[in-house]
């Protein structure tokens, strides 16, 4: 897979800072509660990190203390976490994890450890603000045997796990063969997990929006 990292207009520190700024602009636009489709739950899978990395911020492309960037195509994943009433879930925490460009997870049983990309963080988390918006810099997910490209997502609020799910790449041929995705019979709910990865800028990077609609509003 190509690795367009030669020029980065945004530094790691600058990107992490953006996590708290300007997110409303990239997820602007109100939605009617009646039009919302609850994001369906999917299993956590066996590869949630069995040892969380020291670096757990929202930039998975560069690992703190390393100069070498990750392999893979950079993707900017953003969206909002909202309740069934369409309002932002203030203070929610979103976690994502995925395999690296070689198909290896940050888990001792998650692939060939000799092929692990040490430049890829593999896991990140972000606490949303008043606008419910989040942002990650990661890589476009890749396929591995038996699975279409996907990113695992978990939403927490306080001590509660609100939702665990996965998002997928629109147009990827593996989607039609992925049993976990196809297990969702409702077409609208399945479609809610499949998102477009579109070109962003002139550096070969991508952008994708994944809005999470919870089935119930968590208690304050």
Question: What are 208's two structure tokens?
Answer: 């994708």
Let me know if residue 204 belongs to a domain.
yes
**What is the band of 175 on the pLDDT scale with cuts at 50, 70, 90?**
very high
Structural domain of residue 96, as residue ranges?
12-213
Total number of domains in the chain: 1
Strands 194-195 and 160-169: parallel
Q: What is the pLDDT of residues 45-76, one digit of tens each?
A: 999 999 999 899 999 999 988 888 899 999 99
Tell me what pLDDT residue 191 has.
Answer: 97
pLDDT of 20 higher than 60 = no
pLDDT of 27 higher than 60 = no
pLDDT of 108 higher than 60 = yes
Q: How far apart are CA 159 and CA 123, in angstroms?
A: 19
**What is the band of 193 on the pLDDT scale with cuts at 50, 70, 90?**
very high
> Nearest Cα to 61, choosing from 142, 141, 123, 120?
120
By three-state DSSP, how is residue 151 classified? strand
Per the document, the length of the chain is 220
Whole-prediction pTM: 0.86
Q: How far apart are CA 102 and CA 113, in angstroms?
A: 10
Tell me what pLDDT residue 219 has.
Answer: 65
pLDDT of 9 higher than 60 = no
Let me know if residue 218 belongs to a domain.
no
Q: What is the pLDDT of residues 126-170, one digit of tens each?
A: 999 999 999 999 999 999 999 999 999 999 999 999 999 999 999
Mean pLDDT of 201-210: 96
Tell me what pLDDT residue 24 has.
Answer: 42
CA end-to-end span of the chain = 44
**What is the band of 34 on the pLDDT scale with cuts at 50, 70, 90?**
low
Least confident interval from 53-57, 123-127, 182-186:
53-57
Q: How far apart are CA 103 and CA 113, in angstroms?
A: 10
Tell me what pLDDT residue 3 has.
Answer: 38
Let me know if residue 32 belongs to a domain.
yes
CATH of the domain at 149: 2.60.130.10
Let me know if residue 6 belongs to a domain.
no
Let me know if residue 4 belongs to a domain.
no
Tell me what pLDDT residue 181 has.
Answer: 98
Tell me what pLDDT residue 216 has.
Answer: 75
């Amino acid at each position: 897979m190509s690795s367009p990292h030669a020029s980065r207009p945004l530094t790691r520190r600058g990107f992490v800072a953006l996590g708290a700024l300007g997110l409303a602009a990239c997820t602007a636009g109100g939605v009617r509660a009646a039009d919302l489709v609850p994001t369906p739950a999917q299993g956590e899978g066996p590869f949630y990190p069995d040892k969380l990395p020291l670096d757990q911020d929202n930039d998975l492309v560069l690992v703190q203390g390393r100069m070498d960037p990750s392999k893979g195509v950079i993707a900017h994943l953003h969206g909002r976490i909202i309740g069934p009433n369409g309002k932002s879930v203030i203070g929610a925490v979103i976690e994502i994890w995925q395999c690296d460009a070689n198909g290896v997870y940050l888990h001792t049983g998650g692939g060939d450890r000799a092929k692990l990309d040490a430049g890829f963080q593999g896991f990140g988390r972000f606490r949303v603000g008043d606008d419910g918006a989040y942002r990650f810099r990661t890589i476009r997910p890749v396929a591995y045997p038996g699975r279409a490209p996907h990113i695992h997502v978990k939403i927490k609020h306080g001590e509660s796990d609100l939702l665990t799910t996965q998002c997928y790449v629109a147009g990827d041929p593996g989607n039609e063969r992925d049993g976990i995705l196809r297990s969702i019979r409702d077409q609208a709910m399945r479609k809610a997990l499949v998102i477009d990865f579109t070109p962003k800028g002139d550096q070969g990077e991508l952008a994708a929006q994944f809005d999470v609609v919870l089935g119930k509003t968590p208690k304050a």
